[in-house]
Amino acid sequence: MKILVTVDLSESTPIVVKKAEEIAYPLSAKVWILHNAEPEPDALEFRADPQAAREALAEKFHDEHRQLQKIAQGLRKAGVEATALLVHGARVDTILKEASDLDVDLIVVGSHGRNAMYQLLMGSVSGEILRKSRCPILVVPTHQRSDEDD
């Protein structure tokens, strides 16, 4: 089995990765940890100090790469074959392209559980992946639910 795990490197990432580990380990699945770095390099405009902006962006990407490598290393220590992927591009399309290129059997995504107004204005990456994917999706809730949410 092959699993693509999408992470945003927020506080929800460990929850999503742990769920993926729980699935991958007993199945001896291969796991790819994917983070879509923002912003896409071609879309940047450097106005005030282009060199400083490039250096700051390079440091940000380097830090994100280190975080991904640490996640993959943790999975490997737990006995899961894992590879880190740092990609750039339109979030949903890039995730689905990677899933297709890797021929994965499952995509694991997190859900922040934002309110309906946020969903209406900003959309939901996990929701759009659910609508467009050709393979099964596991959406992991990463937020605290209250009795009012039911």
b/e map 129-150, b = 16+ CB within 10 Å: beeebeeebbbbbbeeeeeeee
pLDDT tens digits for range 83-110: 999 998 888 999 999 999 999 999 999 8
The pLDDT, as a whole number, for residue 50 is: 72
The three-class DSSP label of residue 139 is strand
pLDDT bin (cut points 50, 70, 90) of residue 46 is low
Predicted model pTM:
0.82
- Is the pLDDT reported for residue 117 higher than 50? no
- In 3D space, the residue among 42, 43, 38, 46 whose CA is nearest the CA of residue 64 turns out to be 38
Q: Under a CB-based contact definition with an 8 Å cutoff, are residues 40 and 94 in contact?
A: no
The three-class DSSP label of residue 104 is coil
Better pLDDT: 41 or 121: 41
pLDDT tens digits for range 47-62: 556 777 778 778 888 9
